[in-house]
Structure 1
Amino acid sequence: MEIKTRSWFCKPQTWSVMARPAKIDEGVGSRLAQLREPLNRKEFAEELGVPDSTLGNYERGDRWPDWNFLEILKAKRGVNLNWLFTGEGEPQEGAGKDLARKSNDSIVRLPRFDARASAGNGLVAVNQMPVGDVAFAREFLRNLGANPEYCYVLEARGDSMWPTIPDGALLIADASKREVDDGRIYHFNVTDKVLVKRARWAMDGKLYLTSDNQAAGYQPEVFTADRVHELSVGGRIMFTGHAPMPLR
C-alpha cells in the first residue's frame, strides 16, 4: 500500500537553519533585487520557482530567506552567499561565475558541491558553495525525470546505502523535488549533517530515514512533526554514478 506524504513535511519553505531576526538587514533585500536585474521580480520568481509574494517579502526584509531558497540561488545563479549577507566580495565567485552564464540548449553545467553526503552516520557539510561544475545533456536529465535547471552534483560517503549507492558514488540530485515520497532516496540536511537516505513513512505519520544496507545494522533516524526544525530536504536523488563494484 502506498503511504502518502504527510502534510507537515510538504512545506519546506517554512524551515530554516538560520536565526530569524525580526527585520533583516535592508542590504540583503537590495542585493536580492540587484541579482534579478534586468528581470522584474515576477520574472525572477518564476525562474527560481518561488512565489512572487515570497520573493517580495525577502526583498523588503519582511522575512529571512530560508535555506531552500538559498540553495536554489546557488544552484541556478552561483550566488556567493557571503556577498548576499555582508556585501563583501563578488555576487558570483569561482565556479559560480560560470554557473551564472546561460548554458546552450543541449548542455547544462550542474554545480558540484564539496558536501560529501554521508551514506553512513552523517558527515558535517564543510563547504556549501560550489567547487566546480559538471556538464550533462539536458535530454539525459529529462529522461531521468529531473528538472535540469534545478539539478546539482554531490558525492556519497559510507556504506549504509550499499549496494544501491556505494562509497564514492557521484549523485545527481534535483532540488525541485523536495516533497518526500515514501520509498524514494533523498539528500537530507539534518542539523549539521548531510545524509543520503531512503524515506519511509509510517502509518502514524512518522518519517524514517532508512539505510539499504540492513546487514550492517544501521538504525533508522525517526522524525515527527516536533522535530521538523532539525530537517530539511536538499533534493531527490535522481542518478547514481560509480565505478564497477568489487564482489563482496
Structure 2
Amino acid sequence: MDPILTTIDEALKRKGLSDAAASKLAVGHPSLIKNLRMERKGEKRYNLPALQRLSEVLGLEFYFGPPRSAGAPPTTTVAGEQFDTVARYDAVGEAGNGMINFDGPPIDHLAFSKRWLAQNGISAGDSVLINVRGDSMEPSLYDGDLVMIDRRKRHIRSGQIYAFRDGETLRIKRIEVIPSTALLLRSDNPKHPTEHRIGDAMNDISENILGQIVWSGHTWG
C-alpha cells in the first residue's frame, strides 16, 4: 500500500471527509484523490502543489505524516483526559495598524484537549496564542480576543485569516489571492478598506506569513 495514500485515508477518516469533498476543498474539483489512487505504468505521479493544499485540508504537515511538533509542550491530565498546552505571548496582533514586539519568552500556557487538537490538525508545540488589537476584523475577531496561530500553515489559502509581518507590524487580516496578480488584505469590518498588494509588496506578505488563525477566544463583560 502506498504510504501517502494510507496517510490520506487515515486523515480522511479523522476529518470525516470523502475523497471528493477533501479534493474539492483543496483544489476546487472532486477528482484529486481519485486521480492519486490511479496507477500510471505502475508508478504514482504526484502534483506537489496539490498535495500541499491537500495536506492543509487534512491537517497534515507537507511531508505527509502525523503532525510533528517543534517542541514538546507541557501536558496535563484532567478527569482522565489528556491536555496539551499552547504558549501565550505578550504580543498583540494588530487588526488595524501599529508597532508590535513578538519577541521574548511566553508569559503563560493555556491547556487544550489533545483529542480536540488532533481532530483539528493542530500541533500545540507549533502554535502560539496572542491578543488582537483593533476593530477591523469585527465581527470575526474583537479587540482583546485571544487567537491561536498555527505556525505550520503558512501557505496562503484564499479567504482564510492569517497573522503576518508587514514591515515592523504584526497584522491579522483575511487574505484573498488573485493568482499571479495580487493579494487582497481584507477587513471583516466594512468601515476599513481593502488593501491591495502587487509585485514585490505581494511577495513580501507571502514570505512573512507567521501562520493561520485556527481558533479564537472572546471575553464577555
Aligned position for 1:140: 116
**Residues 58-77 of structure 1 aligned to structure 2 (within 5 Å):** 76=71
TM-score, normalised by the number of residues in structure 1: 0.54
RMSD: 3.2
**Counterpart Cα distance in 2 of 1:108 and 1:208:** 35
Given candidates 216, 228, 238, the residue that maps to 2:203 is 228
Matches within 5 A, 1:86-125: 99=73, 102-103=74-75, 106-125=82-101
Higher RCO (CA 8 Å, separation ≥ 6 residues): 1
Flag the structure with higher helix content: 1
Contact 2:184/2:194 (8 A) holds in 1: no
Whole-Å separation in 1 of the counterparts to 2:189 and 2:128: 25
Structure 2: where are the runs of 5+ without partners? 1-23, 28-48, 53-64
* SS class of match (2:208): strand
Alignment match, 1:218: 193
1:153-232 map, 5 Å: 153-214=129-190, 216-225=191-200, 227-229=202-204, 231-232=207-208
- TM-score for the superposition, normalised by structure 2: 0.60
Distance 2:165 2:102 in 1: 12
Q: The residue matched to 1:228 in structure 2 has which SS?
A: helix
Contact preservation (8 Å) 2:88, 2:109: yes
d(CA) in 1 for partners of 2:162, 2:102: 19
* Cα distance change, pair 224–115 in 1 and its aligned pair in 2 (3 A): farther
**Number of residue pairs aligned between Structure 1 and Structure 2:** 158
Could you tell me how far apart the structure 2 residues matched to 1:129 and 1:181 are? 30
1:193/1:47 CA distance change after superposition, 3 Å: farther
Q: Report deviation, 1:104.
A: 5.0
| SS across alignment from 1:188 | strand
Please state which structure has a larger fraction of its residues in strand: 2
Instruction: Report runs of 4+ in structure 1 exceeding 6 Å deviation.
Output: 1-4
